Structure 1
């Protein structure tokens, strides 16, 4: 009995070892992709030295800073009003910060520098996603499990078979009709 378990244990060990190697390869690929992403992002930020983009970005951040300073002043004013006995609703404080956050983000996000960095970041993230999907598909194949592309292929083949079956049924119906008409 111990001899029959030996080959099974060895097969399992080989399988686990192969799976671990694939996992480590995928992890290494992921880390390399993340490093490329960080390098790309750093280069993008460094490349924003074009004068128009840089000045637009600085102006956007300055407007956002001014918006926050105005909100701080509003908070101080309303706090003083409350200390002087005025009935100040606590929700006013929340609304001041929420509205300020919206305005400040709008100021920053409307700059060309932000748009450029966001566009490049989205591109890098999509590339990273594709690499992760490829690594996952490779791992699933290694484990003998179907992947999304396998399921799509099976579905396409099934649709084609149904289409052909329908065509054969139509031809058969015409042949039967023709035979019935001759009788």
Structure 2
């Protein structure tokens, strides 16, 4: 290769590495912004429904999760730099860094009592919503003269009660017949 060819190649490689670094940094910024927005939103929603102690614990858990993300960002950035310096870094290593940090961050959030309380509250709200939907469905079906699950259960319960009474009457009749 001639010096011109080497210069051109070096220039192209520098431009490529610069674009790669810029793209990586933009992606990192977006990731951190998204994580911050999530944590802020989560904490805002928790403040209204949780005690001060649970909010504080939730905040501490979110800070530990944030630290896990920052550690991953730092590790990724270091490995990217090592890659640029010629070290053989497999692309899967970056995936593993982020997957591991995501697991760690979620563990930090999910092991707080604030998360457990929020999850319980969400489940309660979902169950209330389901009950309201079931009631609305039943009212609509009644308005259309269709049988509902409740109607079928009621008929079944009445049938069982009638069978029980019939059995009692049959036993009494059998005793009367035996005495005659």
Name the TM-score, length of structure 2 as normaliser. Answer: 0.57
The CA RMSD measured in Å over matched residues stands at 3.4
8 Å CA contact retained: 1:78, 1:88: no
Residue 154, structure 1, aligned to residue 155, structure 2: yes
In the TM superposition, what whole-angstrom CA distance separates every residue of 1:86-107 from its partner, at most 9, and x where no partner exists?
04143x2222222211211111
Query: Quick one: higher RCO (CA 8 Å, sep 6+), 1 or 2?
Result: 1
Distance 2:80 2:64 in 1: 24
The aligned counterpart of 1:46 is: 48
The aligned counterpart of 1:56 is: 57
8 Å CA contact retained: 2:65, 2:104: yes
8 Å CA contact retained: 1:81, 1:88: no
Distance 1:93 1:166 in 2: 74
Contiguous gaps of at least 5 residues in structure 2? 1-43, 172-180
1:159 positional shift? 5.4
In the TM superposition, what whole-angstrom CA distance separates every residue of 1:129-150 from its partner, at most 9, and x where no partner exists?
1111101100011011111112
Distance 2:83 2:168 in 1: 81
The aligned counterpart of 1:176 is: none
Name the TM-score, length of structure 1 as normaliser. Answer: 0.57
The aligned counterpart of 2:94 is: 93
Task: Name the CA shift for 1:97/1:154 in 2 (closer, same or farther; >3 Å).
Answer: farther
The aligned counterpart of 1:111 is: 112
The aligned counterpart of 1:135 is: 136
Which residues of 2 match residues 69-80 of structure 1 at below 5 A? Answer: 69-80=70-81
Distance 2:76 2:57 in 1: 29
Distance 2:111 2:68 in 1: 14
Distance 2:156 2:75 in 1: 61
Distance 2:115 2:170 in 1: 60
The aligned counterpart of 2:40 is: none
Task: Name the CA shift for 1:74/1:44 in 2 (closer, same or farther; >3 Å).
Answer: closer
Give the aligned length. Answer: 135
8 Å CA contact retained: 1:109, 1:115: yes
